[in-house]
Amino acid sequence: MRLSAFASSVALLAPLVLLAASPAAVAQDDSRAGKDELFALLASTEAGERARAYRLIGPGGANADMASVATRHLSKLLRTDIEAYETAESALLDLGPILSSTTAGRSLQKNVDKWEAARDKAVAAVSDETAWPSPGPTKPVGGPQKGAQKVTRELERAAKAFAKLDDPVREARGKLGTAEEQRARLDDLAARRLVIDERRERIEPLGGTAPKFEPAPLLMFELAQLLAEGKLAEAIELRGDLQGPDRVLFFCLYGQAMNEANEAADGAELDPGCHQAIERLNRLRMALGLLPYEVSKVLTDSLRGHLDEMREKRYFSHYSPDPARRTSQERARLLGWKSSTGENLSDAPPVKSIEIWLWDGGHGRIMFHPTFTWVGLSWNGAFSGMVIGGNESDANRIPRPDLLD
């Protein structure tokens, strides 16, 4: 009985002995729990939770134990984050390598040089009023005039050289997918960069060394995205002072975005064949380094009225018999236009008319006017024409800077 009672006493005391030994274990468990909480907070994608982690560490790593643990864990997280970023970045660059100067390299500069050489020759041919003269506003043109063949030849060479830059950009934009898909990629990379930068800033004051991180420049991708979203003014502001090939790439992106905007035609409801004519005309303009034309509803409507009048009254002239709307500028001003205009007319469909207007310097130089960047085109089955104009009167329109100087 005594042994049994003694054994019972030991049994009762044993838990007390174990309990008496537990404070260190509890402290260890608390420490483990604290570190686990710290790890979870540091790894969080929520800025507020990461801020809580830094408070646990204390300013300047005041909590030495936590700071040491945090430094090692932040380094591990950073390496993982950087690897994930580089994987996502590489996938984006693979979609549009020409939009990254780091991957496009020497071949891009070579194509830029070839285009600029061809462009300079084409500009010289178009600008030579002696070699490519104007027949005058009333003299009919029945075929290619003096110098037309050289101008056409130089234009085609410049356009071919420009296509070697423009077509890869167009292909890259196609691979990037919809504007929504591309925006999601860029936003994801931006969020990843933000977390990486924050962690790098936090680890260095704790005595740690942040892993190397050198993201590729994605400015051209961001500009392409803004243009795809129709945010031309934002893209122009963001581009800053681009240099070298990047400047030409933006020129390609801008021209493609403008052609896409012209598809909608700002409510101008262009006649059949006019979209193709504008795209053809803009490719020639850009081959010369000129801004592409943007469709104006005012100019289109004023031209359409004149073409319909010519058909109804059976005449063919820049000058209307109506004194109130005799010239293209007077007709445009009746609809609210306030700047100068120029006009080409033809009895051929729009695309064919572009070729006909290249027959002489007068009509040709209207198509290649360096500062007029608005256009109206129309075709009524009997006559077609184009009217160009300077800055539209609408104060809300986007400024049109010289993209290439």
Q: Is the pLDDT of residue 7 over 80?
A: no
Selected residue with higher pLDDT from 21 and 318: 318
Least confident of 191-205, 286-300, 346-360: 191-205
Q: How far apart are CA 266 and CA 281, in angstroms?
A: 18
Section 297-321 average pLDDT: 95
**The most confident of 5-9, 33-37, 51-55, 342-346, by mean pLDDT:** 342-346
Q: How far apart are CA 70 and CA 206, in angstroms?
A: 8
Number of Cβ within a 10 Å radius of residue 92: 20
Q: How far apart are CA 375 and CA 188, in angstroms?
A: 39
Query: Any residues with CB less than 8 A from the CB of 63 and at least 6 apart, and which?
Result: 56, 57
- By residue count, the chain amounts to 405
Q: How far apart are CA 131 and CA 148, in angstroms?
A: 8
Selected residue with higher pLDDT from 20 and 327: 327
37-96 confidence digits (pLDDT tens) = 777 777 776 777 777 777 777 665 556 666 777 777 778 888 999 999 999 999 999 888
| pLDDT of the residue at 117 | 96
Section 323-338 average pLDDT: 94
| pLDDT of the residue at 226 | 92
Question: 294 forms bridges with which residues in the sheet?
Answer: 374
Structure tokens at 105: 């390299």
Q: What is the dihedral of CA 144, 158, 370, 150, to 10 degrees?
A: -30
Query: Any residues with CB less than 8 A from the CB of 132 and at least 6 apart, and which?
Result: 125, 126, 145, 146, 147, 148, 150, 151, 360, 361, 364
351-389 confidence digits (pLDDT tens) = 999 999 999 999 999 999 988 889 999 999 999 999 999
Inter-residue contact 357 to 363 (CB < 8 Å): yes
115-172 confidence digits (pLDDT tens) = 999 999 999 999 999 989 887 656 667 777 778 999 999 999 999 999 999 999 999 9
Number of H helices, E strands in the chain: 15, 4
Using pLDDT thresholds of 50, 70 and 90, give the confidence band for residue 303: very high
| pLDDT of the residue at 402 | 47
